[in-house]
Each structure stands twice: as structure tokens, then as C-alpha cells.
Chain A
Amino acid sequence: MAEEIVRGTQSGEVTLRIWRGDQDGGAFEEYVMPAQEGEVVLDVIHRVQATSAPDLACRWNCKAGKCGSCSAEINGRPSLMCMTRMDTLPPGETVTVAPMRSFPIIRDLVTDVSFNYEMAKRIPPLLPRSRTEDEEAAGGYRMAQMDVDRSQEFRKCIECYLCQNVCHVTRDHEENKTAYAGPRYFIRSAELEMHPLDTNDRRQLLQEEQGLGKCNITKCCTEVCPEHIKITDNAIIPLKERVVDAKYDPVAWLGRKILNRTKRTAAEAAVSAPAQGPAAVRPSEEVRGVPLPHPHDTGGAVAAAVAAPPATFPGDDAPPDA
């Protein structure tokens, strides 16, 4: 019975191969732990910390798949450690746990995800239309549910950055980081682009500054999303189609001219992007009814004390394209 309970081992033990290292290099180290029923990978990592390697660094917080802190690569697959049950891994085999590959390592399983915050700053914030007289009288905006349904799917994002990590555009081509927002920020742009109040036209910005054209829709971001957001089908492809509307479709262009439907230009939209700080993705405080950004933009707790390198970004002189 014991073997059935601790599926995955014959000896009642699990072997973890965990990456230990920092900016100066590293290597895998093996840890053998007693198997326990119902554990997730993060549980075993914690027991390694408690019993064998108190200096093992890993970032975690909620242990419920909602804070997005414990992202790692388990047997090579980008996953949340707290949502990966040990009994879903191949029985009897060593489990490999490595840090997210796309970002600079700080220590062990902790990576520096500052790239994502920089990309967040480059997104022009929501620029709401003016209120109608009725809305002024009521003291807030009024939006139909059917108009916000699409955007609300993207609000599920927990900013675990697994999608940013798995996207091969930057994972395999570091140079693209200068001009590629990545899947997480494509869904942020899609959320704003589809927002019923927003008046910004983000299409030119997406195409020319944020690298939407670099995405070749291989859907890895969708595959790894722990919130099951259909990133490619519901955000990236609709954004690509909107760019086609603006740039590659003469019929749509003619229709806009005839109907005199114009939005703010990308240049005007870019001016709205604050130079720095998380306020870049925060709508005006005056806008009632507009959902605020997630509160955990800065990630979760760091289990072991690690000294993060200063968040300096000295160079942006790489070519914008590969």
C-alpha cells in the first residue's frame, strides 16, 4: 500500500536534481527526500531547505497558484512549483528543477525578472473617454458586461512570467529583448485595446515598438499559462488582425476614411506612456469602474536571503531586430 500511496517511487523516496548557482555559474545537485502523499514540487523543495540545504533560494508566496512567484522549469517544462503534483511526474525518475531560463539568475531558483517590469512601463496607460452627462450625474463610468467580457479574461493573469520565459523570441534570442514586449504584455495591450473606455490606438506601437510581428504564434505561451488564458487565440491573434486592419488592409482603411473613424495616433499614444514606475499600467484614479492592476507586480517572498543585483539598465543600443 505504501508504494501506491507514494506513487512515483519504489523505495518511498524522491530524487530531486536542483540547480544551484548564481551569476558566476552553477551545477545541478541531487537531493533524496522521503516521498509523501499529495505533495507538490514546492513542498519537496521546502523539505530540502528544511533538512539538507537551508541556503537554497527559491521564490514563493501563496502555494495556491495565485501569486505567480514559484515559476521554475520542472523536467524542462516551465511550470509553477506549487501546482505541479509529484504524482504527475514520471514514476521513479529523478525530477529536475531549474530556474526560468530566459531571465538572468540571481541565485539557485530565483531569477531577475526586471525585464518584464521594463516592458510594462512601455505600455501607454488607459486613456478613458470623457464621461457622458448621465455618467457625470451618476459619478462614474457605465459599461455593458458584454463590452468588458473579453478584457476580463486577461485580468486572470497572475504575472508568473512563465509565458515570457517560454517564448522563444527572447528565450533563444536575447537581442530581441530590446523591442519585444512578450505574451504577458500582449495580453495587457489586448486588454486595453478591447477596453470599452480606452481611446488609445495601440496598433502601430504594437507593430513597430513592441514586436508583435516577431511572434510566430507557436502557442507555447498558451500551453504554459497556469490560468489557462488563451493568450494566442484571444489576445495575440486578435491584435495581429487589428494591425492588419490598420496597416495591411486597404478595404478596412477605406472604410475608416469613409466612416471618418479615427483614433489617436501611435505617436500620441506613446506620449501617454509614463517614463517609469508601475503607474505606467495604472489607470487614472479618477476613473471609477476601471479594474486596477494586480497587486503583486513585484513578485513574492524570497525564501533564502539573496542579494538582488541593482536594477540598472545601462544600454539600449542593440539593434531593434534580429
Chain B
Amino acid sequence: MTPVVLGGARGGPDVPTLRTDRYWVQPLVTVAVLTSFVAYASWAAFVNKDYYVGASVNRDLISPFYSPCLTASCVPGSHPSTVITWWTISPALLILIFPLGFRMTCYYYRKAYYRSFWLAPPACAVADAHGSYSGETRFPLLLQNVHRYFFYFGLVFNVILTVDAVVAFRQPGHGLGFSVGTAVLLVNATLLWLYSLSCHACRHLCGGGAKLFSQAPIRHRLWKAFSPLNGKHMLFAWMSLTFVAFTDLYVRLVASGTIHDYGFHF
């Protein structure tokens, strides 16, 4: 096998880029939005209050950051019958590692933060900011390969948040009803499903890994169904990210009494 030569003078000036357009806008916006989300989510996870709207206002709404609420410190009504007693800090910190890991290892978010935070590269045909580069071949970035396991956990959370949205139709003291909070939880669950089902790992696991589609017709159908969603993965990633924060904010504002959750009951 012929080896590859290194070196040889390259053409063009020795400058980071010749681009004259505003290529820096996209990474800048990404940094702004992701930083804002991380700051808000961290505050919301640590604050450990106002994450559940209960029977006192005839509602059953829980923030997605705190669901499932599994510890003994969870406010009454927000947790299942069996709880973890040894966890004494915010219950959100017990569960958020899973959705956080799902998004951190997501193929789309990897592109977003490699470009915007790590500047490798900040934009196409713009020199990256590092002297050496080994990509995802070494620890810790080698761990990006566990994405599919976070996808599995993400599905479990989607089921739980869907149940939360269905339970939100329950209005203690009134029976069944529908409120803005119910709609917010429903939209949140829907966007999270769309984000999960458009995931590249999902596309591979449901059918993309098959060698012969003709011998795996069900996997082929699944692959055909999920591939168009996969094309909109970036859109669903941003929509679900912003809406999950909005959902927490809405529940928080209702729980703290800042706003009223308008609705009706049957």
C-alpha cells in the first residue's frame, strides 16, 4: 500500500478563512441559546420548589425537570408510593442526567457544540481553534458512542412525561378537565417524542442497521417512517429544548401563584 505524503505547500493565503459572510452568527446564537438553557435548567434543578401544582388549586401538573419525582423530599402528590429515602438534595438532580446525557451525546447537538463552543471548526472553511485534533477517538469523547443507551432511557422518560400529560386532565375536586397547563404538558410530551423518534440512533436501531431490507420488511417500514423525521432532527431538537424549559417555567409560575392556570372541567 502506498503511504501518504505529508506536507507540500498549500495554495491560498495563510489566514484562518477567506469567508466574508457572517459565518459567526450561527455559532454565536447557539452559544447564547444553549448557555441560557443550561443556566435556567441548573437553577430550576437546584431551587427544589414550585415544581408541582396540586389539589390546592385543583390541578395535577408537574414540571418535566422533576418527573418522575422519586425522593422522599418530593412535595405531596408529586411522587409515587415508593420513594428513595437516601437522596436528600433536589430530586431533579437524580434524574436529569438521563435527558442531559441524551442531548449531550445527540448527533445534532454534537455538531452544534463542537462548532459553537469548541470551535472545531466554528464554521465550514474556517480554521478550527486547536493545534491538534483526535476527534471522538479518545476518552472522554469516546463516550459519545453510548448515545443509544441514553436514547433508551429517553424513551422511558417520554413515557413518564406522556403519563404526566394524561394525568394533567385530572383536576382534583372537579373531576376531569382541560387547562392551559394540560396543553403545555401535552405539547411538551409530543415534542420530546418527535425529538426521540427522529434520533439517528433510533433510525439505525429500527431498521438502518439491516443489510437486506427485502428480508426485513417491518424494519424497512420503520426505517422509511422514521427517516423523514430524522431529516427534521435539528428542528425538533431546538423546539423540544426550548419547550421543556417553557413547560417548567409555566408550571413554576402557576405553582408559585404568579399566574393562574386557566381551564375548564367537564
Q: Does A100 contact B (CB under 8 A)?
A: yes
Q: Is the CB of B19 within 8 A of A75?
A: yes
Q: Is the CB of B146 within 8 A of A248?
A: yes
Query: How far apart sit A316 and B6, CA to CA, in the bound complex (Å)?
Result: 8
Min CB distance B31 to A, Å, is: 15
Query: How far apart sit A105 and B9, CA to CA, in the bound complex (Å)?
Result: 6
Cβ-closest chain A residue relative to B138: A321
Q: Is the CB of A147 within 8 A of B212?
A: yes
Q: Does A139 contact B (CB under 8 A)?
A: no
Stretch of A34-42, A43-51, A115-123, A285-293 on the interface side: A115-123
Listed by A's residue number, 24 A-B pairs whose Cβ atoms lie within 8 Å are A19-B11, A23-B8, A25-B9, A76-B19, A78-B125, A100-B11, A122-B1, A168-B120, A168-B128, A172-B130, A173-B133, A174-B7, A196-B211, A211-B135, A211-B137, A213-B136, A213-B137, A216-B114, A217-B107, A220-B125, A241-B201, A241-B204, A321-B137, A322-B132
Stretch of A3-11, A60-68, A91-99, A296-304 on the interface side: A91-99
Q: Does A144 contact B (CB under 8 A)?
A: yes
Q: B residues within 8 A CB of A176?
A: 133
Q: Which 4 A-B pairs have the closest CB atoms?
A: A316-B3, A104-B8, A76-B18, A76-B19
Q: A residues within 8 A CB of B208?
A: 238, 241
Min CB distance A90 to B, Å, is: 7
Q: Is the CB of A75 within 8 A of B20?
A: yes
Q: Is the CB of B124 within 8 A of A220?
A: yes
Q: Is the CB of B12 within 8 A of A19?
A: yes
Query: How far apart sit A322 and B18, CA to CA, in the bound complex (Å)?
Result: 25
Q: Is the CB of B145 within 8 A of A244?
A: yes
Query: How far apart sit A111 and B8, CA to CA, in the bound complex (Å)?
Result: 10
Query: How far apart sit A317 and B182, CA to CA, in the bound complex (Å)?
Result: 63
Q: How many residues of B sit at the interface, in one of the four size bands? A: 35 or more
Query: How far apart sit A243 and B9, CA to CA, in the bound complex (Å)?
Result: 35
Query: How far apart sit A275 and B1, CA to CA, in the bound complex (Å)?
Result: 5
Q: Does A249 contact B (CB under 8 A)?
A: yes
Query: How far apart sit A269 and B233, CA to CA, in the bound complex (Å)?
Result: 34
Q: A98-B13, A144-B213, A144-B214 are in contact. List 15 more A-B contacts (CB 8 A).
A: A25-B9, A96-B20, A168-B133, A172-B121, A211-B135, A215-B136, A216-B111, A216-B141, A217-B110, A219-B111, A233-B230, A237-B200, A247-B145, A275-B2, A321-B138
Q: B residues within 8 A CB of A169?
A: 133, 135
Query: How far apart sit A218 and B137, CA to CA, in the bound complex (Å)?
Result: 15
Cβ-closest chain A residue relative to B110: A217
Partner of A93, one of B20, B115, B209: B20
- Interface size of A by CB at 8 A reads 84
Partner of B107, one of A171, A196, A237, A312: A237
Min CB distance A15 to B, Å, is: 14
Q: A residues within 8 A CB of B137?
A: 211, 213-214, 321
Return the CB mask of B1-34 against A: 1 if under 8 Å, else 0. 1111111111111000111110000000000000
Q: A residues within 8 A CB of B135?
A: 169, 211, 213-216
Return the CB mask of A125-162 against B: 1 if under 8 Å, else 0. 00000000000000000001011010000000000000
Q: Does B134 contact A (CB under 8 A)?
A: yes
Partner of A172, one of B3, B18, B133, B211: B133
Query: How far apart sit A119 and B136, CA to CA, in the bound complex (Å)?
Result: 20
Cβ-closest chain B residue relative to A79: B125
Q: Is the CB of A76 within 8 A of B133?
A: no
Q: A115-B4, A276-B2 are in contact. Are A23 and B9 (CB under 8 A)?
A: yes
Q: A76-B20, A169-B135, A249-B148 are in contact. Are A178 and B12 (CB under 8 A)?
A: no
Min CB distance B143 to A, Å, is: 9
Q: A98-B18, A313-B5 are in contact. Are A216 and B11 (CB under 8 A)?
A: no
Q: Is the CB of A178 within 8 A of B4?
A: yes
Residue among A78, A215, A216 with most chain B CB within 10 A? A216
**From residue 33 to 72 of chain B, which have CB atoms closer than 8 A to chain A?**
none
